[in-house]
């Protein structure tokens, strides 16, 4: 596969990643641009990556319902402070070895794709520090930077085809009339938001959405749907709304919700 | 005060920081001014944000840590972040668990100032 060049939006990032891989770097590569994120390397292999644009292992496990919140919390409390969460999840039988391997590789590959697609302007490498918290669930032994860069380039090519049809990471998605698409596609969420909500990777989410878009079950827009407040409060132009004692009908309109 | 301008600020902030799902502005005593919300009840959110902000201010005052900057509540699947807007209003944001809180703080300061200007505070 061709070498990424710096005139491409993702070139700085993937180029920097490949260089650290060749150097056998151990430490953290911090990427900044439209979004921020980190890539953790051990002896030149990528063992973890994290960004706000792609769900991490915790979100993938909990939001998808593969793991119950109580089980996760118990394992986390017992093992995360000593950095042995992966062993604890295996010990408790919450995940198998293969599942854990797939999960960690999926999360790091997706995070690197997400950073690359959003555009990285600067990359700063820092060696490991004893004060730094290690990744919660590192992949062992991780991926070579070459394999990761090749996979990311392949995904970026797919994403570029979807972008030509209007589907990008930050477009808002609307269901068409009588669409069988999930109701969570409601005009207020982007593919990134849906990835977190559904507990699946950003790339997998874009893939699903591309199919729905191709079959005209959804449409895209640059702006979200705005929902007007259900009970608008009249405003006076000069002052902020003021509460008048004894005049609020709030309890009539909005009774307390019973605990579920 | 122009409600459309307030709404435009809320929408712009949502687009600028990945992970913000809903946003509302309210007076400091919890009366809703404008909301860009979907699944939550905006009037209730405004009232609860007012209470949470008041509690944060009282706690900050009690422990002598200076002026309150924001109140953050982290839940299983998201964040509730409340900023004071001047002395008479507040901004409340709901974000998912992936919300980049550091980026939010950087981006929200100018938005809070613009909201204060729009509201004439």
Q: Which of A74, A119, A240 to mutate to test the interface with B (most CBs of B within 10 A)?
A: A240
Q: Indicate whether A81 and A124 sit together in one domain.
A: yes
Chain A closest-CA separation from residue B7 CA (Å):
9
Asked if B98's CB is within 8 angstroms of A52's CB, the reply is yes
Q: For an interface test with A, give the residue of B12, B18, B38 to mutate (most A CBs within 10 A).
A: B18
Q: Mark whether A87 and A195 lie in a shared domain.
A: no
User: In this predicted model, what pLDDT tens digit does every residue of A30-42 receive, in sequence order?
Assistant: 999 888 899 999 9
Is residue A249 situated within a structural domain?
no
CB spacing of A62 vs B3 below 8 angstroms = no
**pLDDT band at A1; cut points 50, 70, 90:** very low
Q: Give a yes or no: residue A258 inside a domain.
A: no
The reply to whether A102 and A187 lie within a common domain is no
Q: What is the pTM of this model?
A: 0.84
| Confidence bin at A178 (pLDDT 50/70/90) | confident
User: In this structure, is residue A1 part of a structural domain?
Assistant: no
CB–CB of A28/A125 below 8 Å?
Answer: yes
- Contacts by residues A238-245 (CB-CB < 8 Å, ≥ 24 positions apart): A238/B1, A240/B1, A240/B27, A240/B31, A240/B33, A240/B88, A240/B89, A240/B119, A241/B27, A241/B31, A241/B32, A241/B33, A242/B27, A242/B29, A242/B31, A243/B27, A243/B29, A243/B30, A243/B31
* Digitized pLDDT (tens) for each residue of chain B, 121 residues in all: 678 899 999 988 988 898 999 999 999 999 999 999 888 999 999 999 999 999 999 999 999 999 999 999 999 889 999 999 998 999 999 999 999 898 899 999 999 999 999 988 8
Q: Is A243 within a domain? A: no
Task: List the CATH code of the domain at B3-119.
Answer: 3.30.450.30
Q: For residue A244, is it within any domain?
A: no
Residue A184 belongs to domain spanning = 165-221
Please write the tens of the pLDDT for every residue from A139-161: 988 999 999 999 999 999 999 99
A172 and A153, same domain (yes or no)? no
Whether residues A26 and A122 share a domain: the answer is yes
| All structural domains of chain B with their residue ranges | 3-119
User: Which one of A56, A59, A231 has the shortest CB-CB distance to B43?
Assistant: A231
Cα A59 to Cα A30, A78, A197, B75, distances in angstroms: 21, 19, 9, 13
Q: Is residue A106 part of a domain?
A: yes
**Structural domain contains residue A257:** no
Of A58, A237, A240, the CB nearest to B27: A240
Domain count, chain A: 2
Chain A positions in Cβ-Cβ contact with residue B44 (cut-off 8 Å): 254
Q: Is A74 on the interface with B (CB under 8 A)?
A: no
Q: Pick from A54, A193, A225: which is nearest to B96 by CB?
A: A193
Q: Which of A167, A203, A166, A158 is nearest to A55 (CA)?
A: A203
pLDDT at site A179: 87
């Amino acid at each position: 596969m061709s070498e990424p060049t710096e005139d491409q939006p993702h070139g700085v990032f993937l180029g920097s990643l490949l260089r650290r891989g060749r150097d056998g770097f151990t430490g953290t590569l911090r990427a900044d641009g439209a979004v921020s994120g980190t890539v953790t390397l051990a002896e030149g292999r990528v063992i973890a990556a994290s960004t706000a644009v792609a769900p991490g292992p915790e979100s993938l496990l909990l939001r998808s319902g593969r793991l119950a919140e109580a089980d996760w919390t118990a394992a986390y409390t017992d093992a995360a402070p000593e950095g042995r969460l992966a062993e604890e999840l295996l010990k408790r039988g919450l995940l198998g070895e293969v599942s854990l391997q797939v999960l960690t590789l999926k999360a790091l590959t997706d995070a690197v794709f997400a950073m690359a697609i959003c555009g990285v302007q600067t990359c700063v490498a820092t060696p490991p520090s004893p004060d730094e918290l290690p990744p919660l669930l590192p992949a062992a032994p991780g991926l070579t930077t070459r394999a990761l860069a090749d996979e990311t380039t392949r995904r970026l090519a797919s994403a570029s085809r979807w972008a030509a049809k209007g589907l990008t990471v930050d477009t808002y998605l609307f269901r068409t009339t009588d669409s069988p698409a999930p109701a969570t596609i409601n005009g207020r969420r982007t593919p990134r938001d849906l990835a977190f909500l559904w507990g699946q990777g950003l790339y997998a989410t874009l893939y699903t959405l591309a199919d729905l878009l191709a079959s005209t079950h959804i449409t895209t827009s640059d702006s979200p749907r705005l929902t007007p407040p259900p009970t608008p409060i009249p405003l006076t132009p000069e002052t902020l709304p003021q509460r008048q004692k004894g005049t609020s009908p709030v309890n009539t309109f909005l009774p307390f919700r019973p605990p579920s | 005060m122009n409600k459309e301008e307030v709404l435009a600020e809320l929408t712009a902030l949502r687009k600028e920081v990945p992970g913000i799902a809903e946003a509302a502005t309210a007076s400091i005593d919890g009366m809703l001014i404008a909301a860009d919300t979907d699944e939550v009840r905006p009037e209730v959110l405004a009232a609860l944000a007012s209470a949470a902000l008041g509690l944060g201010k009282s706690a900050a005052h009690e422990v002598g840590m200076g002026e309150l900057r924001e109140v953050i509540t982290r839940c299983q699947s998201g964040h509730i972040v409340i900023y004071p807007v001047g002395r008479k209003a507040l901004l409340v944001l709901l974000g998912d668990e992936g919300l980049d809180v550091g980026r939010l703080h950087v981006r929200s300061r100018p938005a809070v100032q613009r909201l204060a200007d729009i509201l004439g505070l």
